[in-house]
A and B are shown apart, each in its own frame.
Chain A
Amino acid sequence: MEFKIITTLLGILMLAMSFIAIYHKKMIVAVIATGAVGLFASIMYLFLAAPDVAMTEAAIGSGLSTIIFFYVLNRIRQNDKEGRESDEIDEIPNK
């Protein structure tokens, strides 16, 4: 089986996902995209013959850190007086 083509496609997908994570307007989409980068990275580790690292990345690097991100976004929304989302807050000029 041609591993090269599959890893190339995975790499392109990962780069597209990281681009979305940097530039998308909505914060929640950015966080989901970060999680997806981790998931694709985990498949790439399997192709690189590293199942231990793949399992760690799937469980910790992609899973638990996404969950912590969402908890923090939720508490930021709760603490804000008007209940704005975290991506709406920084648009206000703070002078």
Chain B
Amino acid sequence: MEYITITTGFLIILAGLWAIMTRKNLIRIIIGFSLFDTGIHIVMVSMAFVKGGVAPILDKKELLTDTAHKIVDPVPQALVLTAIVIGLGVTALMLAYAMRLHQEKKSLDIESFKDLKW
């Protein structure tokens, strides 16, 4: 099963990258970043999956003996949990920038922001 999810994750990463590089609208580019994020999270969680493992929450007696051989890896899950929250912060920040740029130039097209081009 982990092969299927990891493949999905990589394909979504590629789709997000494609959106970032080919789309013109700023909001669409931010959507691409969001997809990229989701793909990376799926890849990381599927790397943590152990065959036959259960969720690392020990609410049953039988899980307490020899825990390490029954659960899936908790560390990558904790990292992904952190990454999702930071992803929200990054998305919010990018959207605020996009809104500000639209207030300045009345356009969302990335081609119209070439003040720094030489």
Question: Of A44, A60, A92, which contacts B5 at CB under 8 A?
Answer: A44
Is the beta-carbon distance between A11 and B7 smaller than 8 angstroms?
Answer: yes
Given the known inter-chain contacts A14-B8, A65-B91, please indicate yes or no for A80 contacting B27, CB distance below 8 A.
no
Question: Of A47, A49, A87, which contacts B25 at CB under 8 A?
Answer: A87
| Shortest distance from the beta carbon of A69 to any chain B beta carbon, whole Å | 7
- Tell me, yes or no, whether B63 is within 8 Å of chain A by CB: no
Main DSSP-derived SS at the B contact region? helix
Number of residues of chain B lying within 8 A (CB) of chain A: 58
Given the complex of chains A and B, what is the CA–CA distance between A51 and B74 in angstroms?
Answer: 11
Q: Which of B8, B80, B84, B98 lies at the interface centre, i.e. has the most chain A CB atoms within 10 A of its CB? A: B8
Using Cβ atoms and an 8 Å threshold, which residues of chain B touch A8? Answer: 4
Using Cβ atoms and an 8 Å threshold, which residues of chain A touch B53? Answer: 49
Q: Which of B32, B80, B96 lies at the interface centre, i.e. has the most chain A CB atoms within 10 A of its CB? A: B80
Is the beta-carbon distance between A90 and B107 smaller than 8 angstroms?
Answer: yes
Using Cβ atoms and an 8 Å threshold, which residues of chain B touch A11? Answer: 4-5, 7-8
Is the beta-carbon distance between A50 and B77 smaller than 8 angstroms?
Answer: yes
| Shortest distance from the beta carbon of A4 to any chain B beta carbon, whole Å | 5
| Shortest distance from the beta carbon of A52 to any chain B beta carbon, whole Å | 6
In the complex, given contacts A47-B5, A50-B48, A92-B107, what are 11 additional A-B residue pairs having Cβ atoms less than 8 angstroms apart? Answer: A14-B8, A15-B8, A22-B23, A30-B28, A41-B42, A44-B8, A48-B45, A60-B84, A68-B88, A69-B27, A72-B27
Q: Could you list which residues of chain A lie within 8 angstroms of chain B, going by C-beta atoms? A: 3-4, 7-8, 10-11, 14-15, 18-19, 21-22, 27, 30-31, 34, 37-38, 41, 44-45, 47-53, 56-57, 60-61, 64-65, 68-69, 72-73, 75-76, 79-81, 86-87, 89-90, 92, 94
Q: Could you list which residues of chain B lie within 8 angstroms of chain A, going by C-beta atoms? A: 1-2, 4-5, 7-8, 11-12, 15-16, 18-19, 23-25, 27-28, 31-32, 34-35, 37-38, 41-42, 45-46, 48-49, 53-57, 72, 77-78, 80-81, 84-85, 87-88, 91-92, 95-96, 98-99, 102-103, 105-109, 111-112
